Amino acid sequence: MPAHVLILGGTTEARRLATALAARTGIRVTTSLAGRVSRPGAVDGEVRTGGFGGPEGLAGWLRAHRVTALVDATHPFAERITANAAEAARLTGVPHAVLRRPGWDLDDDWHPVASLEEAARALPRLGRRVFLSTGRLGLAAFAHLTDTRFVIRSVQPPEPPMPPHCELILARGPFSLADELDLLRAHRIDVLVTKDSGGAATAPKLAAARRLSLPVVVVRRPGLPPGVRESRDVDGVLDWLAGVIPPGGACAADTCP
């Protein structure tokens, strides 16, 4: 019976892990996607889509599909599913690890904040033409800023309420430094707002802001649930899995039928 690894996905790292595991014999790999993006990229192995119905729903899925190991490779800001995964692992005893890429290193002109609301409070003293690249959710936090012009970039269209003066750019990274410099100059941006997502795909906007000496408001990542094992890269998860899945990929004792 092959070992079954469930990856909670939606990130580049999740896709890379699925590719690495799908190439191995004795391992069945399923990636779970939330279903928010209409045309998600190809993923190796099996894919399931949609919420589980909270931690109990996820725990039921782990049992029903005889999952040997659970890897939460969701985005660092996907706080709810990360809490659910930790709780489902506790309920079922399925070994569980989080794959979370490192955050970015703080730069001189970065203004770390704890939330989008705090970012909105910081903006009026930093600039009036804002490049907002925090994703399509939570834009209501900026809706009261009537004197500020926003350029908002997201993969999927955001839902209202949105700031009254905004221009929407629907685009999916990665973006080059040249693209980001063009965007910041064309819209005469004077401040950038981003989440501390980490990773290379969206880092050129930070390099572009530095090149143009623009301040950057950075929303810090939420913490992980207590006691959760964290790996910073795919190799770290593969090392952990090697200790969880016996050679040959047979299921772990406590999840064998």
| Residue from the set 8, 69, 145, 206 that interacts with ligand NAP by CB under 6 A | 8
Determine the interface stretch with ligand NAP among 51-59, 169-177, 216-224, 231-239 (rule: CB under 6 A).
51-59
Stretch that binds ligand NAP, among 69-77, 107-115, 168-176, 177-185 (CB under 6 A): 69-77
Q: Are 151 and 183 in contact (CB under 8 A)?
A: yes
36 touching ligand NAP, by CB under 6 A: yes
Q: Could you tell me which stretch among 79-87, 110-118, 124-132, 179-187 binds ligand NAP (CB under 6 A)?
A: 79-87
Min dist. Cβ of residue 192 to ligand NAP (A): 16
Residue nearest to ligand NAP (CB): 51
Cis peptide, bond prior to residue 174, ω within 30 of zero: yes
Nearest CB to ligand NAP, comparing residues 219 and 251: 219
Residues 13-32 that bind ligand NAP (CB under 6 A): 32
Which two three-digit tokens encode residue 112?
Answer: 């770390």
248: buried, middle or exposed (CB in 10 Å: 19+, 13-18, 0-12)? exposed
Residue nearer to ligand NAP on the CB measure, 158 or 249: 158
Q: What are the backbone dihedrals phi and psi of residue 255, each rounded to the nearest 5 degrees, phi first?
A: -115, 5
Count of beta carbons in the 10 Å neighbourhood of residue 108:
8
H, E, C per residue of 242-256:
HHHCCCCCECCHHHC
CB of 145 to ligand NAP, least distance (A): 21
CB contact at 8 A, 252 and 244:
yes
Q: Residue 80 phi/psi, 5° resolution? A: -70, -45
- State the number of binding residues for ligand NAP (CB under 6 A): 23
The least CB distance from residue 225 to ligand NAP, in Å, is 12
Cβ at position 79, least distance to ligand NAP in Å = 5
Using CB under 6 A, pick the residue from 1, 23, 51, 248 that binds ligand NAP: 51
Q: What are phi and psi of 144, to 5 degrees?
A: -85, -5
Nearest one of 81, 33, 69 to 222, comparing CA atoms: 81
In the numeric block, which tokens belong to residue 44? Answer: 């190796």
Nearer of residues 74 and 149 to ligand NAP, judged by Cβ: 74
Residues 158-217 that bind ligand NAP (CB under 6 A): none
The CA dihedral of 129, 130, 136, 140, to the nearest 10 degrees, is -80
Residue ranges binding ligand NAP (CB under 6 A): 8-11, 32-34, 36, 51-54, 57-58, 74-75, 77-81, 84, 135
